Chain A
Amino acid sequence: MTIRWKDYRTTGFHDELMRTAGRPRDAARFLTHWLSRLKDDDIGERKAAAELAIQVMGITFTVYNEEGGSIDRAWPFDLIPRIISKQEWNSIESGLRQRVRALNLFIDDLYHEQKIIKEGIFPRELIANSVNFRKQCMGMDPPLGVWAHICGSDLIRDRDGTVYVLEDNLRVPSGVSYMLENRKVMKRAAPELFEQAMIMPVDDYPSQLFDMLASLSPRVVEHPEVVVLTPGIYNSAYFEHSYLAQQMGCELVEGADLIVLEDDIVYMRTIEGLSRVDVIYRRIDDLFLDPEAFRKDSLVGVPGLFRAWRRGTVALANAPGCGVADDKVVYAYVPEIIKYYLGEDALLPNVPTFRCNDPDQRKHVLANLDKLVVKPANESGGYGMLIGPQASKRARSEFARLIRNDPRNYVAQPLITLSTAPTFVDTHVEPRHLDLRPFILSGDSQYVTMGGLTRVALRKGSTVVNSSQGGGSKDTWVVDTEES
């Protein structure tokens, strides 16, 4: 039995590879053709090769077990890549650059004059109530004026083909290592495909990341000391922290490796004694960064780190406080934010979002709870959400109460039907829903990954792509059809 594309159903969704049953999109033709020539045995072999590569390369994410140790689970991977044409990607990329530029200006303004508030475009109470606004950062000038150096924005596509930004992750976005590893796995599992099309490479991310980080160094030296700060091996993203440090050739440090002395300078403990650190790519949340400045009970942080950053003796990426723009209510204002700071219309649309702090919009939300998705402002990973069309009457009235009590904390959006792509189920293919997380670097210049991390919901009909809840991933190919 081979794959029969004529039987592949795309009804009701936008499919990333197939226009309709039996008709692939241009950029995907070489792939669907190749797939349709594979026999069951071939498919089994390719999948085995991919699984072996994943196991041998140790690509894992961490799950805790009862005995206190950690289990590494292999990252669920689907062999069929998701394809985007280079032409479409170019316009998405411009939209992302524009968006992140504006968000950085917005954050910088919030921690200085707050002109956007004074001019009445952004409501002051949203900042007053934001859990991610850090008043300790007021007046700070981080190097190059950039706060969010690494941004991971989640993109989804609706059934009419429109690409929307679903959210921007500005605190410690993760997943880029899986993007890089997925490509390596595909090269081991299906090397011949890379000769059949112009698939844009993704491997230069680590060196781009390093150059960006080095550009932040407060000391002008030939080799600034750049380190990656991890909460430790029990963090679920530890694989990525270690991977990136390795790929950049920097030290991977934990809080206990660093010390801030009386001179407000950060040092790391080495076998030869203390050695100065210039730039820290921190993968620890703001609140755990420094027990002197934020949460006193943090064991993974470095006492005095915030003080050193304020003095400008060390650069932190991302800057503390930049999470203020990583908030679902702020998200609703992004089109206005872009307009205000850049004088441009947003190139990439937001999912239409109703803000419950606005009385008219709140009324609309309360009247249409059965059609909308309601999200709390500061949760991530899909927690605390109401999916109206699927929720019980009781759950809806509970949410109505929550919204009335704390309108600032809620936004609502129409239910977007995520696009699909063919995904292996044993040896045949079925459509599965997916999203895309590209990564945007901002330093003295900007860089956007070629594609990003495609996450796919492996359960039939599911739209939950999180790895902890039955999600997997696919390699993402930006294909230049004009070159080949």
Chain B
Amino acid sequence: MLSRVANRIYWMARNMERAENMARLVNVNAHLLLDLPLRVQVGWRPLVEILGSEALFENRHDEYDERNVIRFLVGEQQNPSSIISSLAGARENARTVRDIIPREAWEQINELYLYARKYLQSAYGQRGRYDYLNAIILRNQQVTGLLAGTMSHDTGYAFLRAGRNLERSDMTSRIIDVRSADLLPGEGGLTPFENIQWMSVLKSLTAYQMYRREVRLQVRRPDVIAFLFKNPLFPRSIYHCISTVADCLAELPHNEAPLRHASHLQRMMSDVNPDKLDQQGLHRLIDDFQQGVAELDRQITETYFYSVAQEQASV
């Protein structure tokens, strides 16, 4: 497989996954706000902080209000992580590898982008938002299913799954971070609401049902953290995502360095002790993990795409 093509498949998958998770991220916050008592001042700013995009945001907007943040995260092309930018990136990548992926997958990705652009306005109103974001999520799942069912599970597919799962692990950690960020004061008799919030985190990851089957108790912070970080079976848990990346790497040549680092991240997750994590600690852990993801990405790039990256840098 051409290095350049592997690189583009990897980024196609990362972009698709990012769009899906951005939709989940916006959804979780929107639902959270509806459930909280009016006197609690939570806002939209944490979403931008979690993505580390404050500077870019403040360049474009004065206020972290609902309207601006949603526009920034969903529809603005100048934000490289917005849903529209991610889908445009996925489409551009898919376009350049459409001799590799099944034709229907390209058609679906193309359609998804056209859909997202055409109905963008409906994401800005409260009424149409859920349907819009949900459609982005479901159509992404459809592409994932289509690829799983029609693309040979070959090297290209390994890069696809590696990209998707690396991105997913990163975004899952960010969605958890929405909660650990300074949304709510730690005291003040809001405990009943805290559980509601963890529940919405689970729901935003379509994890609620699976969590209930696994845990069978009421929704509690440590259990949720354990489930989303360490569960080996739930496909959006960080441990599961990183294990999948490791499985993909195992199929590829010259995999020593990236594989070693993936195991390191797996260990990092197994070692998490949710009962001992306060909000600060959780936030730090997530930060460390995200740096680890960036490092794994760097190693994959160096091992498999390096000649391409070098070439592009020199042009």
Contact = CB atoms under 8 A, between A and B. Distances in A.
Interface in A206-251: 233, 242-243, 245-246, 250-251
B155 interface: yes
Contacts of A253: 2
A246 B99 contact: yes
Nearest to B100: A246
Given A233-B96, A242-B98, A246-B98, A56 B111 contact: yes
B95 interface: yes
A272 B3 CA distance: 8
B32 to A, nearest CB: 36
Interface residues on A, range: 20 to 34
B275 interface: no
Interface string B286-313: 0000000000000000001001100110
A271 B1 contact: yes
B111 A269 contact: no
A69 B308 CA distance: 21
Contacts of B155: 271
A246 B103 contact: yes
A271 B99 contact: no
B106 to A, nearest CB: 6
Interface residues on B, range: 20 to 34
Main secondary structure of the interface of B (DSSP, over half): helix
A299 interface: yes
Interface in B64-106: 92, 95-96, 98-100, 103, 106
A256 B253 CA distance: 22
Contact of B2 (A57, A233, A242, A251): A251
Contact of A58 (B96, B110, B254, B308): B110
Interface string A379-422: 00000000000000000000000000000000000000000000
A252 interface: yes
B4 interface: yes
B253 A55 contact: no
B136 to A, nearest CB: 18
Nearest to B114: A55
Contacts of A245: 99
Contacts of B2: 251, 253, 257, 268-271
A55 B308 CA distance: 31
Contacts of B252: 271
B202 interface: no
A462 to B, nearest CB: 30
Contact of B106 (A58, A251, A254): A58
A58 B107 contact: yes
Given A55-B114, A57-B107, A271-B252, A256 B4 contact: yes
A268 B99 CA distance: 17
Contacts of A270: 1-3
Interface in B1-49: 1-6
A56 B110 contact: yes
A257 B3 contact: yes
B55 interface: no
B217 interface: no
Interface of A: 55-58, 233, 242-243, 245-246, 250-254, 256-257, 268-272, 299
Given A243-B98, A271-B3, A271-B252, 8 more contacts: A56-B107, A246-B98, A251-B99, A253-B2, A254-B4, A256-B311, A256-B315, A270-B2
8 contacts: A56-B110, A57-B107, A58-B107, A233-B96, A243-B99, A252-B5, A269-B4, A271-B304
